[in-house]
A and B are shown apart, each in its own frame.
Chain A
């Protein structure tokens, strides 16, 4: 039954996309470190897409059911971490794992209306759900025509139906009776939509998998390998299968949305990158927990704002006098005394100059610290991500992490991680 939303005029092109999974997969669940959250995962997913993009996107959308802030907004910090902060439209969709597909529909409308390019970052940091994993995916979308794939929004649904939910103020989730969820939840909606061979995503992984089998879907290799990565899961499945036609549907809590995807030139390469991420070797031990109990850090809202480029963008200064790149951005060049300093983003990769493992810093049992010569000049000195060890001469990446919650606000900064397996 074609409706106003089921039309080729609301199609949108995928320019690029990337899948991001954390360093550990334990009992087929991807597990992020204690210093990772939906924002850091989303930012890391966005980095390769932004690095390859011809121009900065006009719209940024964060999609997650695990945002760091319940009120006050989370996406602005993602805008900073991704270098998009400023005059950018930034939205967040945080109600349901269906929301990624809703973001595609929004992007289609925005692209059709004004030619906007839209970066959608979906991420999940699980709060103990047994079938959930941690991860993120980013899609760069533009007006239909060209791109590596075309997405055509399908039917939508909103009706009262609780399969898995968390009441405001409650810590734990509630879940409906499995037979009720089977009879009235995602499987029913998918049947009613008469989708052919759909890839189904729902909050209860077992139910979604069974329904998908019943309707002749391809099977969810992502959920089998790392768990359901929340709102990022539909994108993850989309990217892994981008080189073939797909029908994707996500239905959670009576909110549903479907999507048709058709590959174009270049789809194979994007899908291959996503499959390489899924296939990359990962640790099978849980990340070292972070014990924050002894840290009560000084924090300041004015300082956090004033120094947001240093903290959140990893921005240094290039000296006009001596051409050196200096971080943190100085007031006066420490090398030549010039005050002609231009902001410049640091390279997020480099080589370890020296390092130590500190057992005195009052967080966890020990903290790796290293000094890194950055590839584009300048140096960074900071923490190594928990669980990782680095040695002098090692290649490392600079990754965004949640450093602490001093002053009751999430303080993001950069840490050092071993270079990704190629």
Chain B
């Protein structure tokens, strides 16, 4: 059977995202995994298999470079566990793989875990240094993640006349959102002035335009909708799941069809998920969106690529207040990557858990009232891979 409308999320859990000097990779993984299984009201022994999303085990002495980490962390032997990785879509890939496992009928109950331990080193010594030193000896030299998205920011501001302040207001909005999320890395409100005054990272971005470097884990338990209907206390349904892969790691920025104003890969992934979910008017039909706001400009282009507004209208959509908590299409009410941080493997799983919590009406202070259909989106590469997962209420 397909994933869409047939696979349910029956439990979820997210660790606090932040700098966990007192807890290692395996402990974070275990907290999320046991939390999700508890939320599903199950014993771990019922779970048939697991999928682990970890993008950069090289940051933690290679712990997490195979499914063995799950056996070690939660006592899962001898059941099958596979580690998956797909750039910043790694977490959502774990969920997708688990959903395929359920849909294939191979296992009845499947665990998807995303975990990343990034702060056993300094944030500058983390992904930035790893990328600078270990990637391609010529083509990749000078590239950093903020620098690559900054290329979009400058093209975007130049093409659409969007102001630096509008970019900053993405961070201001998402930091405000995070004041209602006890598990976010950053929980203090900031101002446009704070964003503009922050130390430069890659012009025009300062540190407050960028997702922090963060530890965290999240997990979900999946079952068939049929199983959930018969057995689960509470569940939500995957209504659409699109993965698009359009580029390699080095090619997006050499592609002469790239206009640096958005990402084709998001548009392709969204088209698949929308078709499966029967979404034709995303802004009207969706109640909330968690999208990949790794940098401020990314949220603006994501809202366009996801069809919440037209090309070049992301800034106006933001300024209208529509994407703020209380607006008609709230985006990143969790605080997003901007405030939650981006433990790469955990992010996509956290987003799906977040949408599920809103649909179940258990998102606490940040609950989007009456939410029945939401979307989670991750983008990796940048521009190489994207996942879009639409999650809705049970029928």
Contact = CB atoms under 8 A, between A and B. Distances in A.
B132 A310 contact: no
A338 interface: no
A300 B137 CA distance: 8
Contacts of B227: none
A360 B209 CA distance: 13
A356 B141 contact: no
B144 interface: yes
Contact of B155 (A294, A296, A392, A413): A392
A59 B150 CA distance: 45
B139 interface: yes
Q: For the side of the interface on B, what is the size category? A: 35 or more
Nearest to A381: B253
A324 B201 CA distance: 34
A371 interface: yes
A365 to B, nearest CB: 10
With most chain A CB atoms within 10 A of its CB, the pick from B141, B199, B250 is: B141
A371 B138 CA distance: 15
A330 B144 CA distance: 22
B147 interface: yes
A335 B142 CA distance: 26
Nearest to A392: B158
Interface stretch (B24-32, B77-85, B186-194, B255-263): B255-263
With most chain B CB atoms within 10 A of its CB, the pick from A310, A328, A335 is: A328
B231 interface: no
Interface in B101-151: 124, 128-129, 132-135, 137-139, 141-144, 146-147, 150-151
Interface string B235-277: 0000000000001001101111100100000000000000000
Given A298-B134, A311-B138, A356-B203, A361 B155 contact: no
Given A324-B256, A406-B137, A362 B154 contact: no
Contacts of A360: 124, 128, 144, 146-147, 201-202
B197 interface: no
A367 B128 CA distance: 14
A328 B250 CA distance: 9
A326 interface: yes
Contacts of B133: 295-298, 362
B145 to A, nearest CB: 8
A356 B137 contact: no
Contacts of B250: 328
Contact of A354 (B128, B154, B247, B257): B154
A328 B247 CA distance: 13
A357 B199 CA distance: 13
A383 B201 contact: no
B202 A326 contact: no
A383 B139 CA distance: 10
With most chain B CB atoms within 10 A of its CB, the pick from A298, A327, A334, A381 is: A381
B74 interface: no
A326 B154 contact: no
B152 interface: yes
A382 interface: yes
Interface string A329-369: 01000110000000000000000011111111111001101
Interface string B146-175: 110011111100100000000000000000
A392 B154 contact: yes
B200 interface: yes
A378 B255 CA distance: 8
B202 A298 contact: no
Contact of B143 (A295, A327, A369, A411): A369
Interface in B183-222: 199-204
A301 to B, nearest CB: 11
A363 to B, nearest CB: 8
Interface string A271-298: 0000000000000000000000011111
Contacts of B146: 358, 360
A55 interface: no
Contacts of B203: 356-359
A371 B251 CA distance: 12
Given A404-B141, A413-B141, 12 more contacts: A354-B154, A358-B142, A358-B147, A358-B202, A361-B128, A362-B124, A362-B133, A378-B254, A378-B256, A379-B253, A383-B142, A404-B137
